[in-house]
Amino acid sequence: MAAATALFAVLMIGLFLGLWVYRLAFSDLPPIPDKAVLWSMNRPAGATFVDRNGAVIGQRGPRHGPPLTLDQLPKYVPGAFLAAEDRRFYRHHGVDFGGMARAARNDLSGRHKGLQGGSTITQQIARTLFLSPEQTLRRKLQEAGLAFRIEHLMSKDEILELYLNRIYFGGGAYGVEAASETYFGKSATQLSLSEAALLAALPKAPTHLAPTNDLSAAIARSRLVLAAMVRLGWITREQQAAAIAAPPRLSVETRTEGDFGYVLDLAAQEAKAANVNNVPDLVVHLTIDPKLQSEAVAAVREAVAKGAGAGATQAALVALEPDGGVLALVGGMDHRTSPFDRATQALRQPGSAFKPFVYAAALESGLSPDDVRPDAPVKVGAWRPQNAEGRYAGNVTLSEALARSINTVAVRVSQEIGAGKVAELARRFGLVNIPPHPAPPIALGAYEVTLLDLVSAYQVLQQGGKKAPPYLISSITNARGDLIYRKNPASPDTVYDAGKAAQMIQMMQGVIDHGTGRKADIGRPAAGKTGTSQDYRDAWFVGFTPDVVAGVWLGDDRNRPMQHMAGGDLPAEAWKRFMSVAETGLPVRGFGAVVPAEDAPADEARRDFYGALADQFDQTATGNAPIEAPRPDAEP
């Protein structure tokens, strides 16, 4: 009777213990979806960026290769992983109790030199896809419960394939294909035995053992993998010796983003915003023209090299196609040393490059390009804006005042029509940082803008008064090619009269024809404007042809004055260099009509007539401006 009572007590204790274990392991398990979903479930999102021609120009975030089947891999590739991680894989049902006992014995004895731990490949999948990395009894029991479910859902080969394509290998690479490309520069289908053993050595400690971090440690562990494969009879000793004699050679390309660093920064931000469903493995199609991007980088670096003696330390360039697509974007000299984007992040005073908006507002208010205003001393309250060296030209037309960048006339016109109208137009064109109730120095570009916004605002005139916001991403797909996002092809908004835009283009052609922007002449119809902020802190040239609108900024991150560096100097030259390449192979077109090439050059007589006076006027006012000079726009 006593024996029966004791047996019953043991059974009850065992039952309660079993129920407790079951509750811990199975009561709160997350549901396992269809096995097809497991391939992308909780997969860290990465993005591949391609240019307008479809060529890859960079990657951000984790790298995922296309999925591979066991049949596509040499047999020693999955064999190396089984030897390293789960040599009894095809004999257990998700949990290897013998392996768990061996791992526990090693832990108790302090021996940790073996390859395998206590978790099977199926358990590792369960942990990777469903669970947190915390080391608790509850989590280990849940891991085992999920492993049993996965084994019921999938075949052994399917589980091994899932593991090989999802496991992390360090270096940002997920899956054996991405790892092989990352470390050896080739597909996993071409792995040698020694390379396969090295990859199989990584999942246990991918960050520490990543070959780019500690190659010798990774190779040492790979030799344990080879030895295990020999003991299991999966390779011969001769194959082992040959693999050891030919250790893996890394073929890791220097993963700098070269000319595209600033582009990829901006594209990554926009792609994240567009990927509302957090789809992994994005392929982001950009509007960037790689040839023009390379030329933009060269133009920026050449300008800074030439201007270094005058105090120029940084430059930026932006170019847009007619619908607003970004053809080129350079935010500084070198993205690796300074990722601060001076094309989209830096706020700078545009100086006289803002004047086209003053005159565009004047035309909208009823003035004409041929209207005459005096170039003479002017006073607005306590502010006395001046031209360079105190020189004045007398009565001039508005067209000539813009071409020669005469400060006094721009101020008179702004005061005549009202500074608020100038601000309203500028904001309508996309310069959102301009306050609606500005101070008088708005006429001379005292309010800060970004280069991208300024170039986009000029495009309104190029496009006959239509506003097309700039965009960098044309579409986004997933790795299979399914469309996730496409740029809305909606028609641009009309924000300015087309006839007045044509008048403004004629006025701005005069800037290049015979005004302050003569160094930007590319021998075909073009319009633009120079700009120089107070004390030569910023130098700009922004202009356009019927095909492309582009802008160049030159200056210093600490906002230190340059030595007489005006927008008509190096910025105009850099613009000319870039636009000469951008226009190569395109027909010579006037604004609104194609014209014969021989008709394109500007009239030399008009150029000579105004040339002697033009450069002196490309400066903003000096004196008692009610707006202080901007604070330094230094890199964060």
Task: State the Cα–Cα distance between residues 258 and 243, nearest whole angstrom.
Answer: 36
Q: Residue 216 CB: number of other CB atoms within 10 A?
A: 9
Closest CA to 393 of 383, 406, 380, 384: 406
Instruction: Report the SS3 class of residue 91.
Output: helix
Query: pLDDT tens, 213-268?
Result: 888 999 999 999 999 999 999 999 999 999 999 999 987 554 457 789 999 999 99
| Residue segments in the chain with a per-residue pLDDT below the cut of 70 | 1-34, 40, 97-118, 131-139, 252-256, 276, 388-389, 480, 593-636
Angle at 246 between CA 244 and CA 248, to 5 degrees: 95
Query: pLDDT tens, 139-184?
Result: 677 788 888 888 888 899 999 999 999 999 988 889 999 899 889 9
- The set of catalytic residues is 85, 352
Taking the CA of residue 605 as centre, how many other CA atoms within 13 Å lie in the half-sphere pointing to its CB?
Answer: 0
Task: State the Cα–Cα distance between residues 148 and 150, nearest whole angstrom.
Answer: 6
Architecture of domain 61-245 in CATH? Orthogonal Bundle (1.10)
Residues 6+ apart with CB under 8 A from 206: 168, 169, 170, 171
The answer to whether the CB of 182 falls within 8 A of the CB of 169 is yes
Domain ranges across the chain = 61-245, 290-617
Architecture of domain 290-617 in CATH? 3-Layer(aba) Sandwich (3.40)
pTM over 0.75: no
Separation of first and last alpha carbons in the chain? 83
The answer to whether the CB of 250 falls within 8 A of the CB of 215 is yes
Task: State the Cα–Cα distance between residues 115 and 86, nearest whole angstrom.
Answer: 9
Task: Give residue for tokens 């609606």.
Answer: 436
Distance, CA of 24 to chain centre:
46
Which CA distances in Å does 115 have to 160, 176, 203, 228? 18, 19, 11, 9
- What is the maximum alpha-carbon separation in the chain? 126
**Structure confidence at residue 42 (pLDDT):** 73
Task: State the Cα–Cα distance between residues 300 and 570, nearest whole angstrom.
Answer: 10
Phi and psi (nearest 5°) for 387?
Answer: -90, 175
Distance, CA of 439 to chain centre:
36
Distance, CA of 393 to chain centre:
48
What DSSP element (H or E) covers 200? Answer: helix 193-200
DSSP states of 519-551: GG--SS--EEEEEE-GGGSEEEEEEE-SS-EEE
Task: State the Cα–Cα distance between residues 264 and 133, nearest whole angstrom.
Answer: 32
